[in-house]
Amino acid sequence: MSTLEITKYKSIAEIEPETWDQIAQGRGFQSHQWYTFGERVMKDCPPTYLIAWEGKTPIAAVALFRVKNEPLPLPKVAREFMASVLKHKPLLVCRSPMADTSALLLPGEPKRDEALTALATAAQEEFKKQRCSFLIFDYLLTEQLRYKSWPPGYEPITISEPGTYMPIVWDSFEAYLEAGNKKDRQHYKRTLKETSDNGIELQRHRTVPDVDAALKLIHNVSIWHGSAPNPWTRNLLENFSLIDGTWLELRKDGKLVGCGAVLRDNKFQLTSSLGLEDDVPGGYFLLLYAALQEAFEHKVRLVRFGSGAYDVKRRLGFHLEDTNHAMITMAGILSRAAKRVATKD
């Protein structure tokens, strides 16, 4: 029998920053400030926070968001069908907003298993109350899928391409370049020369000067990758000044031709919302190098660069993340259908 007490909150504003940050313990994109920003950006996704208390001590938590417009990685026809389903039966996802990171915040042993069982059970109860189609704990490590303390009703799946990450172990950007091979240093110099010769200028901002122009370039990249546009990008750009971040821009003759958002929280950094015109020689690499420079200037511990372009990122020193897994619960008829398929197999 669990000795933990679970309390529920409908906004991060209802939780004392000290309480939440005690649970987050310096983990990237998990701070009270980050969730305050996330609620503003994903304002159409009502949140639910569950905290596990041991007496008066908060030891674990989950953040759940009710999502009707998830940009699913599906072909267009399937995506449109699922969009119509989710309008009536949304997803309930355990995920840090805009960060592609799990919002399952557990302590270490010996309390980990008790906290997971209590929180995952409470999340299932919330899932039923909110009449959602799927309850998803995504961006989990393989190790987390194997925890024996998941309550009945959860099934493990692998759902997306892995992201990429690199711990920052060098004292400066120059030291990072020096630690690489000669080809890598030459590539950096060629990128600077190529962009300079083509009149491309790099700028850094604390806010986004032209949101509409940026959104057009970001949409270009979505089309190239065949992915659904992120429905919260405009809100992210409009609220950019609320968090620690750097907005990168590439301009040619004063016109915006490339952009990217560098976001930081608890000494972790994430690059997102990359946008480019069709022909910007060296522009993609210039944005990547600029994002890395930002990490060193702000003394970041770890940099994440998302999925895709793996050969390029591997050459820059990035590794594949092991977080493209999830635990899911399905509602009603969906669950019964899944069980019939599993039985036939």
Residue type, 145: L
SS3 11: coil
* CB-based contacts of 273, cutoff 8 Å, min separation 6: 214, 218, 230, 233, 236, 237, 259, 260, 261
- CATH fold, domain 5-161+323-344, is Aminopeptidase (3.40.630)
Domain boundaries, the chain: 5-161+323-344, 164-320
Q: What is the pLDDT along the chain (345 residues), one digit of tens a residue?
A: 678 999 999 999 999 999 999 999 999 999 999 999 999 999 999 999 999 999 999 999 999 999 998 877 666 666 666 777 788 899 999 999 999 999 999 999 999 999 999 999 999 999 999 999 999 999 999 999 999 999 999 999 998 789 999 999 999 999 999 998 899 899 999 999 999 999 999 999 999 999 999 999 999 998 887 777 899 999 999 999 999 999 999 999 999 999 999 999 999 999 999 999 998 999 999 999 999 999 999 999 999 998 888 998 998 999 999 999 999 999 764 444 433 433 343
Look at residues 91, 30, 84, 44 and name the one whose alpha carbon lies nearest to residue 331.
91
Same fold, 5-161+323-344 and 164-320: yes
**What CATH number should be reported for the domain whose range is 164-320?**
3.40.630.30
Calculate the alpha carbon distances from 143 to 111, 173, 326 in Å: 17, 33, 11
